[in-house]
Homo-oligomer: A and B are copies of this chain.
Amino acid sequence: MHSFQDLSKIFEEKFNIRHFPVHPKLLYDAAQYLLTFGGKRIRPVMCIMGNELVDEINPDSWHVANAIELFHNFTLVHDDIMDKAPLRRGMATVHTKFGDSTALLSGDVMLVAAYESIKNINKDYLQRILKIFNTNAMQVCEGQQLDMEFEKRENVSLEEYVEMIGLKTSVLLASSLQLGAVLGGAGMGNQQHLYDFGKNLGIAYQIQDDYLDVFGDPGKFGKKPGGDIASNKKTFLLIQAMNAASPGQLEELHELLKNNDENKIDKVTSIYKSCKVDQWAKELKHKYFANALQHLEDIAVISERKKPLEELAHFLLDREA
């Protein structure tokens, strides 16, 4: 049994290679670029952890983990084009550095490379793995589409927003765990609980992320607070504020979203507070977190094997929201 931190290190070493040929240089340098940013590699490691939950690590898990990380980076490259994002983690995005067209194509080859990695696994698992991987891939695209549509809409219900966030960010966590579990021979019941653990964890994480962006300790999280407010991003907090605000506050909120008031962040934050959006977000996060832990609890393996996933859940969610 390995901890998340151990597996993260092992995966990073394996992943830290050139994944593409040399020629055409521009295309494949663009495809390689984002992969070298490093990071915790949460998703591929969750695949290995899903595998180790039920058995010793099946070497095929590394192929699938590799595919998951390639897929995740493919979505980042294409999303950044669509969002016209200049920076990712403080670095120029792929399209900023290589141009939109090469970036688009580089995303395409990253997706193909993901499937090429999957291809290497034992053929007895290949169809089941592809089915889960494809379903997840479609859902992540659906999530991105809904996200773009919601950005243009004035009103989005909490239910719609949870659906979108689930698709855009949580199904990949859930699927990564499930893919590993399938390779470990898990039964359908355990697969489903593990999937639901990942999905609920992902939603809880997103709520925490939205909360910390506004209410987090800037010293601890290294970002100026209110970035989401400044960019008018729809978040759990904004959606709830729209629900809970008085008619007067709602009008003020709409005004603030339309104009670039120099105290916009403070003013929106103060509306959030007076609508108790902060308290609401904490409670909602805890609800999803508790759901996640319940599904982990319900997996029919000895509790010793669940420890690394439990630790990971606390590592990801035990921040100040």
A148 and B27 alpha carbons, distance in the complex (Å) = 11
> Chain B interface: which of A108-116, A169-177, A249-257, A294-302?
A108-116
**Contact residues in B for A109 (Cβ distance below 8 Å):** 137-138, 141
One of B100, B116, B145 near A130 (C-beta < 8 A): B116
Alpha-carbon separation in the docked complex, A131 to B130 (Å): 14
The answer to whether A146 has its CB under 8 Å from any CB of chain B is: yes
Check: A3 CB closer than 8 A to any chain B CB.
no
A154 at the interface (CB under 8 A from B): no
Q: Does A119 contact B (CB under 8 A)?
A: yes
A10 beta carbon closer than 8 Å to chain B: no
The count of residues in chain A whose C-beta lies closer than 8 Å to any C-beta of chain B is: 39
Query: B residues within 8 A CB of A124?
Result: 123
Other-chain contact of A142, B24, B101, B115, B131 (Cβ < 8 Å) = B24
Assess whether A104 is interfacial by the CB under 8 Å rule: yes
Chain A residues 10-27 with CB under 8 Å of chain B are: 23-24, 26-27
Q: List residues of chain B with CB within 8 A of the CB of A149.
A: 24, 26
Closest chain-B Cβ to A123's Cβ sits at a distance in Å of: 5
Q: Which of A95-143 contact B (CB under 8 A)?
A: 100-102, 104-105, 107-109, 111-113, 115-116, 118-120, 123-124, 126-127, 130-131, 134, 137-138, 141-142
Interface of A is mostly: helix
Out of B108, B119, B127, B148, name the residue touching A111 (CB < 8 Å). B108
A152–B251 alpha-carbon span in the complex (Å):
52
A81 within 8 A of B: yes
Chain B residues closer than 8 Å to A91, beta-carbon distance:
none
| Chain B residue nearest to A99 in the complex (CB) | B148
Chain B CB within 8 A of A78 CB: yes
Q: Which of B82, B102, B145 is close to A24, meaning CB atoms less than 8 Å apart?
A: B145
Residue of B nearest to A101 (CB): B82
Query: CB-CB < 8 A to A27: which residues of B?
Result: 141-142, 145
Q: Does A144 contact B (CB under 8 A)?
A: yes
Residues of B within 8 A of A144 (CB): 105
**Contact A105-B123, Cβ < 8 Å, known A27-B141, A115-B134:** no
Asked if B108 and A78 make an inter-chain contact with CB atoms under 8 angstroms apart, the answer reads yes
Given A115-B130, A119-B127 in contact, is the A148-B101 Cβ separation under 8 Å? yes
Instruction: Give me the interface of A with B, judged by CB distance under 8 Å.
Output: 23-24, 26-27, 78, 81-82, 100-102, 104-105, 107-109, 111-113, 115-116, 118-120, 123-124, 126-127, 130-131, 134, 137-138, 141-142, 144-146, 148-149
A-B complex: 6 closest residue pairs judged by Cβ atoms: A82-B101, A27-B145, A119-B130, A116-B134, A112-B137, A24-B145
